[in-house]
Amino acid sequence: MKAGLPALRVTRLAMAAAVLSSCASAPSHYYSLSAPQSPAGAAFARSLVSPFAIDVAPVAVPDEVNRPQIMIGEEGDARIVPLKSSLWASPLDDQIRTALGNALSARLGVPMVPGGAAPEGVPVWRIQFQAHRFESQYGRRVLLDASWQLRPINQKKAAGTFVCRGAVSLPVEQGVSALVLGHEQALQRFATVMAEQIRGGAPAGTTGLDVLSCT
């Protein structure tokens, strides 16, 4: 029957969600994308003299995944299901914003503006990031397809504004922690390319990030 294959996919997704959640009374587990800063990055962030700061604007994330529960899907099927006992420690858009800011701060050795509100006159790189696809396929892969804009503010010698789009797909092992780690690694690859652009270089070709377009 025509409905057979979609029904099978939904059943597989539902079974995976049920196994991971166990039951309605199962204890909740919370996950974060924000890896601790490296010692070098933390030391730079404490420095009293930095050429600029990082100012990450609120991140845009697809509504269907910007939920408390981690959402999983399957290749070739637009439907997704929540892992009821596996939740983000804070809203996903905030998780991505913080993780991206920490990664850029560590790579560039400059502080991130607390709260995303740079004082007037302070040299900053303003980062806008929009995730078009944030996919989690349990035990298979994660996919992050996103656009970003890098804009220098109060900097006379900085490179111009960058507007780019890229995507990265990474295989993951079984387990929710593996899914979260995969997304964290994907964000790290975006941060690597952005940091190179801020330094004045071209997008790196060995980061594992497929840069689809850049102006």
At residue 22, the pLDDT reads: 52
Point out which residues pair with 147 in neighbouring strands. 130, 165
At residue 207, the pLDDT reads: 67
Distance CA 69, CA 170 (A): 21
At residue 43, the pLDDT reads: 45
At residue 4, the pLDDT reads: 44
At residue 119, the pLDDT reads: 76
At residue 3, the pLDDT reads: 44
Distance CA 39, CA 48 (A): 16
Kindly list the distances between the CA atom of residue 33 and the CA atoms of 75, 87, 160, 188, in Å, as whole numbers in the listed order: 23, 12, 30, 10
pTM: predicted TM-score of the whole model, two decimal places: 0.83
At residue 51, the pLDDT reads: 87
At residue 48, the pLDDT reads: 52
The crossing angle, in degrees rounded to 10, of helices 92-108 and 176-198 is: 50
State the architecture of 4-26+53-214 in CATH terms.
3-Layer(aba) Sandwich (3.40)
Q: Give 145-169 pLDDT, tens digit per residue.
A: 999 999 999 888 777 789 999 999 9
Can you give the residue ranges of every domain in the chain? 4-26+53-214
What are the percentages of helix, strand and coil residues in the chain, rounded to 5?
Answer: 30, 30, 35
3-class DSSP assignment, residue 81? strand
- Ranges in the chain, pLDDT < 50: 1-8, 23, 38-47
